[in-house]
A and B are shown apart, each in its own frame.
Chain A
Amino acid sequence: GESVGLHLPTLSVQEGDNSIINCAYSNSASDYFIWYKQESGKGPQFIIDIRSNMDKRQGQRVTVLLNKTVKHLSLQIAATQPGDSAVYFCAEKGANNDMRFGAGTRLTVKP
């Protein structure tokens, strides 16, 4: 079946560096994507979203890039901080408003 998934399960970066987390999706009809952050013991927290009519969207220290040609989504975090350490999920909104999550990438920020 169609699914949303992630390239890398773990990512370790130095504090202050930029982080890039990648995600591949297979449903070419998907038109809305969200990145969530999940800290230990907490529920997913919205970070940023993007619709398929855009290829880039910026937030505070975060940028999401969408490449529909290769069905690839990425999350860039600028000047990564220890508080950014978490699991990051990309998610695709399904036809009935359910969120279909990828497997997650664990980001670890080293001081």
Chain B
Amino acid sequence: EPEVTQTPSHQVTQMGQEVILRCVPISNHLYFYWYRQILGQKVEFLVSFYNNEISEKSEIFDDQFSVERPDGSNFTLKIRSTKLEDSAMYFCASSEMGQGQQYFGPGTRLTVT
């Protein structure tokens, strides 16, 4: 069964550094999403992406965040200057249709020290 993949599984970075989290959505899906989950808390929506542009973003997704689909398979989340509070699991998801079921990747654990 096709699945969403994410790399790396764990990223450790120093405060102020830039990180790029990578996702490969399911190949025929057109809608892409990033979520985060701070340890012990609920999953929170960050951004949705369709047709090479952001369709919606939450208040969490401020100027330090950006997303990109650099080629036909990857979908990336960049955090420009990481802060301690950015430490969380980051989940990528994709769906075939805008109203369709979202499939989640296994997540990348980001630790900012």
Contacts and interface: CB of A to CB of B under 8 A. Distances in A.
The answer to whether A and B come from one shared complex is yes
Interface of A: 32, 34, 36, 41-46, 49, 89, 91, 93-94, 96-104
Interface in B50-95: 55-56, 58, 91, 93, 95
Interface in B1-33: 4, 31, 33
B42 A104 contact: yes
B107 A43 contact: yes
A99 B102 contact: yes
Q: Which of B4, B42, B58, B105 has the most CB of A within 10 A?
A: B42
Contact of A44 (B55, B99, B104): B104
A91 B98 CA distance: 16
Contact of B42 (A45, A94, A101): A101
B42 A102 contact: yes
Contacts, number: 58
Contacts of B58: 98
A103 B103 CA distance: 19
B15 to A, nearest CB: 25
Interface residues of B, number: 25
A103 B43 CA distance: 8
A103 B42 contact: yes
Contacts of A44: 43, 91, 104
B104 A98 contact: no
A98 B45 contact: yes
A96 B56 contact: yes
Nearest to B31: A97
B44 A101 contact: yes
Given A97-B48, A97-B56, A89 B104 contact: no
B48 A96 contact: yes
Nearest to A5: B42
B45 A100 contact: yes
Contacts of B43: 44, 89, 91, 99, 101
24 contacts: A32-B99, A34-B101, A42-B106, A43-B104, A43-B106, A44-B91, A46-B101, A89-B43, A94-B45, A94-B56, A96-B55, A96-B56, A97-B56, A97-B95, A98-B33, A98-B45, A98-B48, A99-B35, A99-B43, A99-B93, A100-B45, A101-B42, A103-B41, A104-B42
